[in-house]
Amino acid sequence: MPSAEVNGRKIFYRESGAGPVTLVCLHGISSNSRSWQRQLEMLSGRYRVIAWDAPGYGQSDDPTEALPVMGWYAGQLAGLLDILKLSKAVIVGLSMGGVLAQEFYRCYPDRFLALILADTNTGGGARPPAERQARLEGRLKALAELSLPEMARQRAPALLSPDPAPGLVAEVETMIRELHPVGYRHMILALAAADTREVLPTVAVPTLVMGGEHDRITPRPEAEVLRTGIPGAAFEIIPGAGHLSNLEQPAAFNRAVTAFLAKNLEEIG
């Protein structure tokens, strides 16, 4: 599998397909690039698809900054795209990856062909202070007190619908067990501080907002904030999916992506 050195750190990524349109897929806080395997397989006949391991995840190196902010991760992503000679791409972000995608737009708006935001929100910094602090302390407490297998058993079912397909909970548990404690802690802090509300009205590329029908982590009202805040954003609910809609209902997720891009990027192919 390929990797690149960005600012002295290894960033691992998965890649499939080819074509004039590239999708760059950004995973959530509890997973890694393997969460996009169904997109890498099912969309590669139409697009070039890239899924990275964010710094501190999967096979990428851990960050060494005392306190990275979401803008730092955006800079690392820009560095990877530079190495891949990608001046523009469709940025697809799920959950934490969606917050990062919005921050990436704040920093690098000219690098977007389109923006796809799934099961995400505007970051922890947009929440009321008491709620933000409670969420932050809860995540840090779980990291400090639970082993990764224990965390996986507790967290995985909440990321899926009430009736997931056989084997899906175990697949999600495996990704959670692969978390890097250092990288996960850094991202917890970065996500808690992130606030992308000011980004929404500035988005000037075709945008699709999606959410799983049964998403209990970022429920429908949070998706509505994105839909109404981004001018002209399209909106899709993925039936039968929880928070990890791309993984749980990949066919429906991929159909929504393909239809949206076919409508909005016809001139590219």
Neighbour-count burial of 43, counting CB atoms closer than 10 A to its CB (0-12 exposed, 13-18 middle, 19+ buried): buried
Secondary structure of 163-232 in the HEC alphabet? CCCCCHHHHHHHHHHCCCHHHHHHHHHHHHHCCCCCCHHHCCCCEEEEEECCCCCCCHHHHHHHHHHCCC
Enumerate the β-bridge partners of residue 92: 25, 116
From first to last of its 269 residues, what are the pLDDT tens digits of the chain? 699 999 889 999 999 999 999 999 999 999 999 999 999 999 999 999 999 999 999 999 999 877 789 999 999 999 999 999 999 999 999 999 999 999 999 999 999 999 999 999 999 999 999 999 999 999 999 999 999 999 999 999 999 999 999 999 999 999 999 999 999 999 999 999 999 999 999 999 999 999 999 999 999 999 999 999 999 999 999 999 999 999 999 999 999 999 999 999 875 54
Q: Say how far apart CA 160 and CA 212 lie, in whole Å.
A: 9
13 in Cβ contact with 41 (< 8 Å): no
Domains and CATH numbers, the chain: 3-264 (3.40.50.1820)
Phi, psi (degrees; rounded to nearest 5) at 105: -65, -40
